Amino acid sequence: MQKKYLIGATATVIVAALAVAGAVKVNAQKNVGVAAKVNGEVISVEEIKRGYEANPQISAQVPFEEFYERAVDIFVNGKLLYQAATKAQVEETPAYKEQLQQAKEDLARKVYLEQTVEAQVTPEAVQKFYDEEYVKKFESKKEMSAKHILLEDEKTAKEVIKKLNDGGDFDKIAKEYTKDKTVELGYFTEDLMVPEFTKAAAALEKGAYTKEPVKTQFGWHVILLEDTRDSKPLSLQELEPQIKNILSQNVVAETFDKLIKDAQIEKFDLKGNKIKAEAEEKK
């Protein structure tokens, strides 16, 4: 599966690599740093490496050496196509010029938004959002830490409880009986579990287990309460990616709002009739 992914994904790297390719120093005489020569034109190892590094979805899964072996042929094919296109004077055709203009506009929009977001989503802005929108408004909730054994029927659940009453080890019994591989549930708040489960867990003292089976939509549970605590705010480090994402979306939305507000915009239907703006229709 990984091989198929690599073959398909590597082709997309050509675009990124050609976009960043510049003058790369190689020792053409000794072929040091040369990945291939296509009609005398050099493809450098550095070009391929930059394409690899520009695609984290690939570099996270495949080592460069393995990527390189497959990428060389794809880069060669890309170079052959470009040489053929140049020979055919594709760059002088209306189709090329039209698509080039579209690509320029797309790139300009992308870079403008990226720069706008980068300028406003600063460490200070992230810290301010964390302090004012998260920590200040954070409401502590009771958290419980529990284990459970999930059974198919009430009869088996009662059998498990009898073994616990006789001094049986919860973990060993769970390993033998449970149909849920996750025995240790960790900390959770009441809203994260079904009501029947949280009600039963909340009624227990630390270290105690339910003396009667607890029925939920998933089956029959025997629950052991390990600990309770008041929830605390997550750290800035834990939330930073989400905060940056929220701020970035806000900046993009605000950017469009401002551009629309400051612009003179007229819209027309397919017949050429002017479409009235919402504000005009409400008058």
What is the SS3 assignment for 162? helix
C-alpha to C-alpha distances, 180 to 6, 173, 198, nearest whole angstrom: 35, 13, 17
Has residue 104 been placed in a domain?
no
Q: Has residue 14 got a pLDDT over 50? A: no
Write the CATH number for 153: 3.10.50.40
Residue 277, pLDDT > 80, answer no
Report the mean per-residue pLDDT for the chain.
89
Structural domain total, the chain: 2
Q: Is the pLDDT of residue 181 over 60?
A: yes
| Residue 217 belongs to a domain | yes
* Residue 250 pLDDT grade (very low, low, confident, very high; cuts 50, 70, 90): very high
Q: Which two tokens stand for residue 180?
A: 């849920």
**3-class secondary structure per residue, 64-118:** HHHHHHHHHHHHHHHHHHHHHHHHCCHHHCHHHHHHHHHHHHHHHHHHHHHHHHH
Residue 40 lies in a domain: yes
Domain encompassing residue 50: 2-96
Query: Residue 15: its pLDDT value, please?
Result: 47
| pLDDT digit string, tens, across residues 193-246 | 999 999 999 999 999 999 999 999 999 999 999 999 999 999 999 999 999 999
Q: Is the pLDDT of residue 23 over 50?
A: no
